[in-house]
Amino acid sequence: MARERVYIDADVLIIGGGTAGCLAAYEARKVGGDDLKIVILEKSFIRNSGALSAGMNALNMYLNQGTPEDLVAYIRYDMCGAPVREDILLSVAELVNETVAMMEKEGLPIKKKADGSYLNRGKWNIEINGSMLKPITANMAIKARARVYNRVYVTDLIKVGDAVAGCVGFGVRDGKMYVARGKVVLVCAGGAAGIWRPRGHGDAHHRIWYYPFNTGGSYAMCKRVGAKMVGFDTRFVPVRTKDTYSATGTLSIGMWAPMVNAKGEAFMEEREEYAKLGGHTAPTPLRVWAYCREMENHRGPCYMDTTRGDPERVEGLKAQYLDMAPCLVLYWACNDINPGREPVEIDAADPSIVGAHAACAGAWTIGTSRMTTVERLFVSGDALGAAPSRFISGTWTCGRLAGRHMVRYLREKQPQLLEISPAEVDALEARIFAPLERYQKCSFYTNGEPVEGVLPQQMEWRMQNIMEEYCGGRSRWFYVNETNLAIARKLVNRLRREQLQYLVAKDTHDLQLAWDVINRLDVCQLVIDHIDYRKETRYPGYVNRTDYPEVDDHNFDCFVTSVWDPETDELQFSKEPYQQIVPGDRKSETV
């Protein structure tokens, strides 16, 4: 059935109107002038979409002291001294304070100390009243007069020759096919949630740490056009408040509540094996690993001991959580928990694939240009790899820099819109809507489920079971080895290669869920193969390899990158050398 089509042409085409996308639009307008045609395609509603949708109570990248170099040294330290893209991180660190000042002017309430300076949380964070973070962020795109198309789910990029020409997608509400061209294209559709089995089931299966509607589209789309990918061996494992998986920075850095085990030991300091790794301020993966070891050795349950925290700050705890995780406040109220008087129980959540939080997944970029190895294709936010810990403020900044670089590219290279062959668009249309078309031809069981098909949710569960059990989910304490990775690969590839033909969707909402699982399966491929390639354990806690438990600097003190080969459906791996820009010991902080 032919679908109604919407054709869009832009100078700057932005996929994903989130933290990065909105600020990229803003900056592109600022440096690119009034005539620039900026378009944002957003799968939900830009005012409330993305990781910021529930609000946040801190900006985790800010220079309260020190230099950009000090911040980069800290980020590097926090990734266990592993290679990070110091060039990219420096470019962000140099501009981040300016971005924050700008966002304060735009209405963001930032908490202040008595002397009027920002209220810091630890060295590199500041506290905010961030329940309106997303509307304030989205306003930057509106101010920039970006043309925003809400409820357009982008499924694929289109390449013409060596360059990206645009993208296609479908209207989640109107069912139309969207064909958009851009002289430059920015992918910033966030990271990937829902790859592993969540802890809650039924009505709590989305009570997970990461935003469940970012489903790996950024990574899958970049991979499928042959962009070089990096960092999928760093899964972010959030150790968070038990059951609700709300952020714990509020407790740990905010009020110095230590992690304790069932015996009340502040184990990071009191147990020699963790103290020597850095104690309470050990790198993030190592704190995750220590928590897991305590649990595995039957010293759980574990807690953040708020009773040992700063009493003044503990007082305002509920209020702070209302700004970012109201569900935790209700959870406490319904379980008779008073976090000021008793420790808050913690647990490890299902891993998430992210590039802007404390992990490195994303597309590889050339220098600080934000351009991938595919001409005209730019990335930012969680979609950009090997530059971790940019968080909200760094992602805003990274978006701005992407905006600047795209405008520079337009000026210097004067690219023109590329012609996309009608036959290719027809083929993409068939591919996008195939699950809907198949559903039309189904017969149905008495309960209404299709006889000749698999529902998106069913395939999602299958994928999550495979990843959980063979690619080190939380129930396996994040352990993997070659044997189970091989099983994971075999099963995931069977889903990808043979089973997608059975995927059916009854309406455009389900079509969205179908594409979520298609994209997630591509992320699974990246994750399994990257973890397998890195035959060492560089980030214990995130990935624990029982077959290669040590760090192997000789072979792996570098970036591991891959490019997808469409002929064989395999990833071709290579290594990129690490370049240390900030001098000094990579395993220690400088301030």
Ligand X SMILES: Cc1cc2nc3c(=O)[nH]c(=O)nc-3n(C[C@H](O)[C@H](O)[C@H](O)COP(=O)(O)OP(=O)(O)OC[C@H]3O[C@@H](n4cnc5c(N)ncnc54)[C@H](O)[C@@H]3O)c2cc1C
Interface residues toward other proteins, by CB under 8 A = 44-45, 47-50, 53-55, 104, 107-110, 129, 131-132, 136, 151, 172-173, 200-208, 211-213, 243-244, 318-319, 322-323, 326-327, 329-331, 333-336, 509, 512
| Residue 18: CB minimum distance to other proteins, A | 10
| Residue 299: CB minimum distance to ligand X, A | 27
Q: How many whole angstroms separate alpha carbon 560 and alpha carbon 520? A: 21
Q: Pick the binder of ligand X from 124, 149, 178, 210 (CB under 6 A).
A: 210
| Residue 89: CB minimum distance to other proteins, A | 29
Is 357 a binding residue for ligand X by CB under 6 A? The answer is yes
512 contact choice in ligand X, other proteins, none (CB below 5 to 8 Å, kind-dependent): other proteins
Closer to ligand X by Cβ: residue 352 or 464: 352
Q: In Å, what is the CA distance from 403 to each residue of 36, 99, 103, 284, 556?
A: 12, 14, 17, 30, 33
| Residue 133: CB minimum distance to ligand X, A | 8
Q: How many whole angstroms separate alpha carbon 199 and alpha carbon 591? A: 38
Total residues contacting ligand X (rule CB under 6 A)? 40
Q: Pick the binder of ligand X from 99, 129, 214, 373 (CB under 6 A).
A: 214
Is 381 a binding residue for ligand X by CB under 6 A? The answer is yes
188 contact choice in ligand X, other proteins, none (CB below 5 to 8 Å, kind-dependent): ligand X
The mark string for 1-20 relative to ligand X (x by CB under 6 A, - otherwise) is: --------------xxxxxx
Closer to other proteins by Cβ: residue 108 or 417: 108
For the record, the structure tokens of 31 come out as 């440096």
DSSP string, 67-119: -HHHHHHHHHHHTTT----HHHHHHHHHHHHHHHHHHHHTT--B-B-TTSSB-
Closer to other proteins by Cβ: residue 178 or 378: 178
| Residue 571: CB minimum distance to ligand X, A | 22
Is 247 a binding residue for ligand X by CB under 6 A? The answer is yes
330 contact choice in ligand X, other proteins, none (CB below 5 to 8 Å, kind-dependent): other proteins
The mark string for 151-180 relative to ligand X (x by CB under 6 A, - otherwise) is: --xx--------------------------
Mapped onto helix, strand or coil, the DSSP state of residue 19 is helix
Q: How many whole angstroms separate alpha carbon 130 and alpha carbon 109? A: 7
Closer to ligand X by Cβ: residue 51 or 480: 51
Q: How many whole angstroms separate alpha carbon 281 and alpha carbon 267? A: 12
Beta bridge partners of 575: 560
391 contact choice in ligand X, other proteins, none (CB below 5 to 8 Å, kind-dependent): ligand X
For the record, the structure tokens of 55 come out as 């609000």
| Measured CA angle at 146 (ends 168, 55), to 5 deg | 90
DSSP 29: H
Q: Where are the beta strands (DSSP E) in 374-533?
A: 377-379, 479-480
Question: Locate tokens 């933290």: which residue?
Answer: 19
Question: Locate tokens 């349950």: which residue?
Answer: 301
CA nearest 518: which of 52, 154, 50?
154
Q: Where are the alpha helices (DSSP H) in 144-283?
A: 217-224, 249-255, 267-270, 272-275
| Residue 107: CB minimum distance to ligand X, A | 17
Question: Locate tokens 């044997």: which residue?
Answer: 483
DSSP string, 510-546: HHHHHHHHHHHHHHHHHHHHHHHHS-S-SSTTT-EES
Question: Locate tokens 């030991």: which residue?
Answer: 265
Q: Pick the binder of ligand X from 74, 209, 409, 542 (CB under 6 A).
A: 209
| Residue 193: CB minimum distance to other proteins, A | 9
Closer to ligand X by Cβ: residue 292 or 513: 513
The mark string for 36-55 relative to ligand X (x by CB under 6 A, - otherwise) is: -----xxxx----xxxx---
Footprint of ligand X (CB under 6 A): 15-21, 41-44, 49-52, 56, 58-60, 153-154, 188-190, 209-211, 213-214, 217, 247, 249, 356-357, 381-382, 391-393, 395
